[in-house]
């Protein structure tokens, strides 16, 4: 296959479940030389994994990195910070196409692992949409569970934590995010005990914000000064998690100096996680699509005292939309929304004067109407024919600035359109 054909092959694969044994059977012998770090959780997987991969590269390990997302697979597999060589991914696609077919998530992970083995990677950091797939990876001395939250539909915090705990294995060290919900942390503690896996929880008391009121993110974590390109307390939690992962690998015998940790944390580019692309006028892009992520976004805007923005929201699906819009309005998670509103008042003032809604291409009229109805219950919302129109209207009618959110795809597309406008 050519690299274009390989990307098309993976994009066309169906979603679905694959037993770890089936994935393991698809991996070549070269993968056994790679030590993997599996990253599971509800939110922050891409950021935490990317931060750790940058740290390992700064420590001079040949490092693989695989992340999820909407882009072609060739743009989501990296070796030493650069996109994987097209020939390696094409070879992996040929091998997988000739074997028993795997569903999309398993096939992408298998392809990434094949590329890392062929490239001679010592370590590889992989984002896991399905934590159970971690069992297929030959060596995984360290793993992670990022922030846990409800999906706003049917999966509770406890259930999400139990599923994410599938990344754990005997003898490994699992680092989880600071400030996990108590029900989630309880699930992880029980799972770690059953798996005979050491659980490390960063101490929130070690996090000190040095400048948080001007959409900056200068913090100190346990003596590590961190000039992050990511905003928000949740982002600092991801950085703390990455630091603890690096320290856990050091305890496992990998030579990672403090200087490499600091260099890696500073080097990571923020593409779509509360990314400030302009300050005058204020333009923020965010890939948030869950209630948990919407709450994190509002906390950042509230901390910076941002008001009177226009928002362009492009959700990829109707499922979970009501919980998302509620969280975007008042900053309350689905669990908090069930509590007494006087005890959990959320934000005193919403930062959005107007919301411009963009629905997925080809969406049915009935679904579009339901999304618009949900949005108008919470905001002064207007349906647009597409993202270009929404951006034009939002910029023309904004008093303070512009936010684009709802999915990674819309955030990245907005970045392209704004850059070319």
Which CATH superfamily includes the segment(s) 3-267? Mur-like, catalytic domain (3.40.1190.10)
Average pLDDT of span 139-163: 86
Start-end of CATH 3.90.190.20 domains in the chain: 275-420
Q: Which CATH architecture has domain 275-420?
A: Alpha-Beta Complex (3.90)
* pLDDT score recorded for residue 360: 82
Q: Helix H segments across 340-385?
A: 365-378
pLDDT in tens, 12-62: 999 988 888 999 999 999 999 999 999 999 888 999 999 999 999 999 999
Average pLDDT of span 172-179: 95
In the block, tokens 């709802």 appear at 406
pTM for the full predicted model = 0.88
Distance CA 322, CA 8 (A): 33
pLDDT in tens, 292-337: 889 889 988 888 888 899 999 998 888 889 989 998 998 877 666 6
Question: Are 172 and 140 spatial neighbours (Cβ–Cβ below 8 Å)?
Answer: yes
Start-end of CATH 3.40.1190.10 domains in the chain: 3-267
Token pair listed for 118: 């062929």
Average pLDDT of span 267-284: 85
Residues 6+ apart with CB under 8 A from 8: none
Least confident of 106-110, 137-141, 274-278, 374-378: 274-278
pLDDT in tens, 220-270: 788 777 766 677 778 888 889 999 999 999 999 999 999 999 899 888 887
* CB neighbourhood size of 155 (10 A): 15
pLDDT band at residue 213 using 50, 70 and 90 as cut-offs? low
pLDDT in tens, 376-408: 999 999 999 999 999 999 999 888 899 999 988
Q: Is 89 exposed, middle or buried (0-12, 13-18, 19+ CB in 10 A)?
A: buried
Residue 212 has pLDDT above 50, yes or no: yes
């Amino acid at each position: 296959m050519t690299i274009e054909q390989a990307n098309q092959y993976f994009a066309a694969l169906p979603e679905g479940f694959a037993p770890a044994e089936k994935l393991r059977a698809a991996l070549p012998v070269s993968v056994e030389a790679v030590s993997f770090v599996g990253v599971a959780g509800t939110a922050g997987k891409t950021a935490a994994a990317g931060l750790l991969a940058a740290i390992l590269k700064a420590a001079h390990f040949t490092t693989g990195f695989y992340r999820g997302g909407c882009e072609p697979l060739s743009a989501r597999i990296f070796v030493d910070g650069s996109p994987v060589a097209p020939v390696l991914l094409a070879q992996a696609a040929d091998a997988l196409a000739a074997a028993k077919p795997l569903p999309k998530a398993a096939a992408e992970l298998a392809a990434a692992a094949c590329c890392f083995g062929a490239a001679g990677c010592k370590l590889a950091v992989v984002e896991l949409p399905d934590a159970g797939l971690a069992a297929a990876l030959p060596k995984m001395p360290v793993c992670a569970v990022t922030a846990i939250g409800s999906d706003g539909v049917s999966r509770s915090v406890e259930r999400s934590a139990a599923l994410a705990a599938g990344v754990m294995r005997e003898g490994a060290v699992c680092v989880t995010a600071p400030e996990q919900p108590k029900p989630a942390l309880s699930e992880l503690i029980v799972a770690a005990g059953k798996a005979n896996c050491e659980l490390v929880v960063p101490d929130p008391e070690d996090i000190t914000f040095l400048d948080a009121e001007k959409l900056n993110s200068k913090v100190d974590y346990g003596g590590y000064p961190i000039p992050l390109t990511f905003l928000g307390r949740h982002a600092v939690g991801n950085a703390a998690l990455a630091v603890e992962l690096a320290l856990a690998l050091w305890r496992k015998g990998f030579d990672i100096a403090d200087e490499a940790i600091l260099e890696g944390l500073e080097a990571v580019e923020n593409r779509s996680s509360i990314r400030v692309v302009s300050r005058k006028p204020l333009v923020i892009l965010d890939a948030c699509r869950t209630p948990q992520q919407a709450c994190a976004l509002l906390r950042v805007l509230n901390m910076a005292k941002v008001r009177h923005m226009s928002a362009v929201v492009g959700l990829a699906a109707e499922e979970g939309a009501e919980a998302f819009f509620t969280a975007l309005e008042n900053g309350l998670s689905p669990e908090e929304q069930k509590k007494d509103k006087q005890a959990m008042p959320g934000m005193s003032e919403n930062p959005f004067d107007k919301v411009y809604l963009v629905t997925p291409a080809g969406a049915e009229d009935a679904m579009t109407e339901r999304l618009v109805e949900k949005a108008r219950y919470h905001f002064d919302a207007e349906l647009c024919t597409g993202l270009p129109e929404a951006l034009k209207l939002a910029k023309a009618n904004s008093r303070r600035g512009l936010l684009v959110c709802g999915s990674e795809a819309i955030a990245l597309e907005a970045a392209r359109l704004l850059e070319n406008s």
